Structure 1
């Protein structure tokens, strides 16, 4: 009997036939290699506890450390990208005793039937305690061509009716001192907004909480990895903390009422599933942005018919301070909102997002609003009808605390008003209770055909696949920070493309057209500015993924002195919000990046640069054979000026593009 034919049992408490005896010898030999040699020259077919990706380049391996603890390692092209690392749980009441591997069950290459999914190979390693209660724990491994994933599973069993978990003991050790981009927090409760700054693994601060993803160069050519998680349910979200000389450990967000417990749950019939710990792997740093593992590993859609879910771009008034040229007393009133609706209709935008300020506040602006009523001078149902007549639908902002406890009541009302979606803000949490709330919110919104955008939120964990009405989320320091700080630099924007933008939708709100050089920038709340060129802002619509893209600026910013759309405004009308294919084309780690995305037969390329002047080469090898026509918008002689170029290109073309400091470029490529 071979591993490809059946589950192999490797427990030592049964009568062994010669084949099974041979199996135990193999396992024992592998454990020695895992612990001592650090690199066994054996193929996955020889190693019963290893599974390789369909292309054979990525391998994830299980094993046991001294004392009976489970461990994993991840290899790429035959070399460790994650060195042998502990995997496990620490229970609130006691510890798991030494674990014995009882069976190893491989699965062939698998592709999920509900989508064009990435193929993978899977291995399930079943274990139990060698003594005591003999409790069972499974370790599930997956190998994709673009990375590896593993998760702990606690099967339903007599020893557990209810489980309380204090922590995970899971680590991801690096074989050398990686160069990383990381965002640091000091508290579990935070907005998940910060700079993914350059730091070596050995310089990560002890005790600091690092958000996901952690992106790192391995030191082997362009090889790059990013650590993330997916499939979080009945479980908290995780941070990373420094472990050892150069590595990280999983730190679960504790329950708000008891910081000694992270998970408290009655085991469902399917058992308790920890989130997937994801190791994305790329040959070059810019290829991380085309990695879809976080979404692929999440559960498939739970909302049934999703044809009513319509991604698109939106006008947005909040960032510009509700500026509305020609509207007397512009502010929280119907006249101002109608001005933005008219602009959305003129530009072909399907949505207008009405942010803070529309709802009734009988106890003053410092108290929670009544989101079932609206303030004087605002009539949401009338605005919804006005918008619908112009081909535009409305999104409404809410504080998460006002939604809690009355989801179906509020969402049914919004459905009657004709509202397209809700923007839920200030959540700031990723503990087990909050994760459950996200699932309930998205399911309730789907019942009333409402799309969702969550702000003050954790970073993505694949929920947009499970609930396709979940279009986008924040978990990023976006355009809004220009209203009160100098934190959103061009370099920070580029670093986002190698980190946060690689794991899921990101509501950054690009398209700010009041562009100045950093030396001239002054933070202000009304009609704020940005420290990048206009071409850099255009490139964000291609580089940053978000099925709901909210244009940051006021309508007047996108029009010339004769009230006609600027040439670059035409690009905003043309660029899609969703894509059929993505390629990381070129770049330099954290310095500049070129990303190509396809919609139908048309390709768009966005190029973003940091604060240094440079000239870059953008190869067009991703194009299909044949002749193509390129239209380019690149930096002009001032931050507010974009120069246009066009001409024939082919897949053999490599375009040389001059980039200003804080600059960028966009290309539109059509079959000739």
Structure 2
């Protein structure tokens, strides 16, 4: 209790009573000060981040609020957590604290089946606050985890074995100022930078906020059978954001929300280096034998013919690709409800055929090339339980789920169930269109990658691609559909930038040559195809892995430029992408092993070359003591491979 001061009076009965009253008032005042200051706290293992939790009693409400500090500076100020039930009762606005758990510490290092790192440390401190909402007659418990890289919390609501329906979740993230944030309202949309008070509603996550000297990303993890969380501006003039669910949520209690994540760093690069927090908040791998789950590079077969399929497989073998994918049209028109994904019926509007998929699968098996097929949501929703065992029988390696429904609790649950069902038949999955990841690939690593990004097939500006790296890609792998020979490359970007994207954009299944084909015009009957012709720099696509042992973000500014180094074994691959203005970047090579010399093979744009792609290749010897200078014009890039000599 704070120190209490009381004045000494002369000994008369009146003054004795007065003295007693004054002391009583003083003690009461001291107790009130003590109660207001009696916040429970939780610190990160390194002590730098602190989350404090208390019951805030104002305006006849009693709310649990949390606050986040970094090195003593408030980053998230007192923010409440509440829910609107289907009977319009608010849960979380009239709470009493029943109990608080002791602080526990968790520290383990686990190895993912694949990833941006070969090992991941899961180190945090945790406390759970058990409450009772007296007016809503509903128990709730909020669990907080404090990491060295941020804070996460989830809420468990409801009395056991009772039905609970939530109309809204109102989890708030209040900032200390009207900071700018990078906003998009579509998973494949463009971004703009606006103050928090102008965010509006339906904003995608992760939402990155430039909060003074910190960069803060608001996101969610372990979204499996709940509605997707979007974000909206907080009411009034208070700078901040509030959770916005894309549907009602119904469950048999207790109901636990997905994790609400606050990732904190001093730079955009630190945010990206810390993105394994989303994986750590998911359950460990649920698949006992993962030997059939294999990352790799993918060539999309665009002719939908047997000849094209075999040519694609031959190209894959020669160029160190692992998969060939047959996209829309192989089983009929993807938007026609009558199309049957159990048949091989080529859409005549896309290809004259013929397509013998069974023969192609066997041709691929003999050459260790897996075949992937695309299936639109119309067929998935009708035929999932039929096609998965059938595709396993055919020998297909994986399925690309197309135009899936997202947002609502119903479709979120259906989609993750579809991933689990695919695992039963040892089928890998790529989810396309609006789905954004929340770390479920830790639990079911057959979920290889997903779109939820404006990839190169939609011709994003370089600035948007670099913005995406520091926003969308915090959540996980992004199927960016890299192009190479399509005319849009020379018009909007550069060929060396495309090489760099294979390093900068993480995806365990990396689709390359999205619009390109190894077929000759004579073979496919067309002269407008983007032919994949031999060019010296294509060796980089053949050599670059899709998964990594170590990842370093060397430099970067959202929407402007980025330099990322990734290690596979003893080799380092570096990608640099530049957007809006000419830059000269100075890059220390201290990520290399000290005392070793490396042979650096550098792929750069050179407009003076009289070649189709205008990519020059240089070689030099480098070591950890050196610094490279990378000069990039607007919309250019550079790729490197560094191998120990």
Q: 1:631 to 1:297 in 2, by over 3 A?
A: same
Q: Kindly provide the CA deviation profile for residues 242-266 of structure 1, in whole angstroms up to 9, marking residues without a partner as x.
A: 1143211100011xxxxxxx11112
Task: State which drifts further: 375-384 or 446-455.
Answer: 375-384
Q: Does the CA-based 8 Å contact 2:449-2:477 persist in structure 1?
A: yes
Q: Does the CA-based 8 Å contact 2:482-2:498 persist in structure 1?
A: yes
Q: 1:265 to 1:108 in 2, by over 3 A?
A: closer
2:266 corresponds to:
283
User: Is residue 176 of structure 1 aligned with residue 177 of structure 2?
Assistant: yes
User: Higher Cα Rg: structure 1 or 2?
Assistant: 2
Task: State which drifts further: 587-596 or 647-656.
Answer: 647-656
Q: Does the CA-based 8 Å contact 1:126-1:138 persist in structure 2?
A: yes
Q: In structure 1, what is the Cα distance between the partners aligned to 2:601 and 2:631?
A: 15
Q: Does the CA-based 8 Å contact 1:287-1:585 persist in structure 2?
A: no
**Which of residues 657, 665, 671 in structure 1 aligns to 2:638?**
665
Q: In structure 1, what is the Cα distance between the partners aligned to 2:108 and 2:606?
A: 47
Q: Does the CA-based 8 Å contact 2:234-2:242 persist in structure 1?
A: yes
Cα drift, residue 224 of structure 1: 0.9
Unaligned runs of 5+ in 2: 1-27, 112-119, 347-353, 521-529
Aligned residue-pair number: 582
**Which of residues 65, 68, 75 in structure 1 aligns to 2:69?**
75
**Which of residues 190, 194, 197 in structure 2 aligns to 1:195?**
190
Q: Does the CA-based 8 Å contact 2:153-2:259 persist in structure 1?
A: yes
1:636 corresponds to:
606
1:40 corresponds to:
none
1:566 corresponds to:
535
Q: 1:57 to 1:563 in 2, by over 3 A?
A: closer
Q: In structure 1, what is the Cα distance between the partners aligned to 2:64 and 2:338?
A: 48
2:507 corresponds to:
546
Cα drift, residue 213 of structure 1: 1.0
Cα drift, residue 296 of structure 1: 1.3
User: Is residue 533 of structure 1 aligned with residue 494 of structure 2?
Assistant: yes
Q: In structure 1, what is the Cα distance between the partners aligned to 2:574 and 2:75?
A: 30
Q: CA RMSD in A?
A: 2.6
User: Is residue 599 of structure 1 aligned with residue 562 of structure 2?
Assistant: no
Q: In structure 2, what is the Cα distance between the partners aligned to 1:237 and 1:297?
A: 16
Q: 1:594 to 1:406 in 2, by over 3 A?
A: same
Q: Does the CA-based 8 Å contact 2:587-2:629 persist in structure 1?
A: yes
Q: Does the CA-based 8 Å contact 1:179-1:217 persist in structure 2?
A: yes
Q: TM-score, normalised by structure 1?
A: 0.82
2:230 corresponds to:
239
Q: Kindly provide the CA deviation profile for residues 343-374 of structure 1, in whole angstroms up to 9, marking residues without a partner as x.
A: 1122121100100011145xx97445200001
Q: Kindly provide the CA deviation profile for residues 118-158 of structure 1, in whole angstroms up to 9, marking residues without a partner as x.
A: 201111111112x356421101111111111111112643x
Q: Does the CA-based 8 Å contact 2:537-2:617 persist in structure 1?
A: no
Alignment of 1:14-163 (within 5 A): 32-33=36-37, 49-65=40-56, 66=58, 67-93=61-87, 94-96=89-91, 98-112=94-108, 115=111, 116-129=120-133, 131-132=134-135, 134-154=137-157, 156-157=159-160, 161-163=162-164
Unaligned runs of 5+ in 1: 1-23, 34-46, 186-191, 255-261, 323-330, 483-487, 522-530
Task: State which drifts further: 280-289 or 399-408.
Answer: 399-408
User: Is residue 303 of structure 1 aligned with residue 287 of structure 2?
Assistant: yes
2:412 corresponds to:
435
Q: Secondary structure at the match of 2:103?
A: strand
Q: 1:72 to 1:335 in 2, by over 3 A?
A: same
Q: In structure 2, what is the Cα distance between the partners aligned to 1:621 and 1:294?
A: 28
Q: Does the CA-based 8 Å contact 2:577-2:636 persist in structure 1?
A: yes
Q: In structure 2, what is the Cα distance between the partners aligned to 1:27 and 1:422?
A: 63
Q: In structure 2, what is the Cα distance between the partners aligned to 1:287 and 1:365?
A: 42
Q: In structure 2, what is the Cα distance between the partners aligned to 1:468 and 1:650?
A: 36
Q: TM-score, normalised by structure 2?
A: 0.85
Q: Does the CA-based 8 Å contact 2:181-2:195 persist in structure 1?
A: yes
Q: Does the CA-based 8 Å contact 1:167-1:251 persist in structure 2?
A: yes
